[in-house]
Amino acid sequence: MANISPKTTPIYQTSVFTFEDLNALELYFEQPNQQYMYARYNNPNSDELAEEVNKLEGGGGAVVTSSGMSAILVGVLTYCQAGDHILCAEEIYGGSAALLSQELTRLGMEVTYVPGESIYKLDKYVQPNTKLLLVETMSNPLLQVLDVQRLAEETKRQSIKLMIDNTFATPILTRPLSLGADLVIHSVTKYLSGHSDVTAGVVVCKAEDIERAKQITRTYGLNLSPFESWLAARGLKTLKLRMRQHSANGLAVANFLNQHPKVKQVWYPGLEQHPQHELATEQGNGMYSGMLSFQISDELETVNKFMQSLQHIPFAPSLAGVSTSISHPLRTSHRSLSREQQQKLGITLGVIRLSIGIEDAEEIIADLEQALAQI
């Protein structure tokens, strides 16, 4: 039989790999990257996904994890331990805030949230035990765009690490490591896999940090299964094409919503009135991603009526799939924040987050238009 050379990596759906004898086992421990032993440590499918994301981000190494949340945990633990102090942008995904404030504080870490107006000058927030600043390239849900290069300069001045959640931007728009960040994480569940059928995360870091990140993933059991790794690697192949379409559709929908009389405000970096529009244009290579938020009346009946009137756009509390969906930050992603935090950030009942898919923009706009007409 001729040698089989598959174009696509097969799914290695096994939890363990075999050895011929003790000599082979010792060779594994001497050269662990030459073969596989146990799927929790690594497997061909998760390695493939990690390598491909690492190439896109221009990193020194990557490890894939069981979810975006576990990627955040790995990223933090790469640099921090009990007794350390962590800084975090005030406007951040609610799950990230919950992990920091509700869980890592129980492990002996201290967390301080930095308001947006202070994010580039950290003098009054940095303490002797501060190790890390966590931010998002584009914030969830109000799309504040942060200047990664300025943040990198400030964190280096303060001798702390800069960790970037690049989920909303993806490396197609922005590569934070090339701008000076120390570590990048993604919820692979979102744009990288892209089809709403995978739960996964990835950590991309510098070469000197990758072994520590891998050790945490192995020891805590945060690894990703072979099948989900295979699915995510499959989705990743169309990332560049998808992000172009997400971004083009996002700009078209943002312009439509921006002129609609029933829409009070639109948050989208591609609009000229966005406070970081010029930065977003430069840092995002002329693309602005497919995420936007907009505000209608802050009344429960109005919000429910709008959601019920949508014919093709579902209410789905996640984002970045190929199909357009809406979410409600106040009641989902940012539910764990205190009422005071929600109000300070401007996350009200009428704020709706829109994840723009890759359908024809006219189809998306038509559904939004008829639903807005019902309120």
Instruction: Tell me the catalytic residues.
Output: 40, 93, 165, 190
Strand, coil or helix: what is 151? helix
What distance in Å separates the CA atoms of residue 134 and residue 205, rounded to the nearest whole number?
A: 14
Burial class of 174 by CB neighbour count within 10 A (0 to 12, 13 to 18, 19+)? buried
Q: What is the DSSP code string of 329-365?
A: TTTTTTTTS-HHHHHHHT--TTEEEEE--SS-HHHHH
Cα of 77 vs its chain's centroid, Å: 17
Nearest alpha-carbon partner for 208 in 251, 248, 177: 177
What distance in Å separates the CA atoms of residue 171 and residue 331, rounded to the nearest whole number?
A: 29
Nearest alpha-carbon partner for 257 in 116, 134, 353, 178: 353
Burial class of 322 by CB neighbour count within 10 A (0 to 12, 13 to 18, 19+)? middle
What distance in Å separates the CA atoms of residue 48 and residue 286, rounded to the nearest whole number?
A: 29
- The two tokens of residue 113 are 């949230």
DSSP state of 310: -
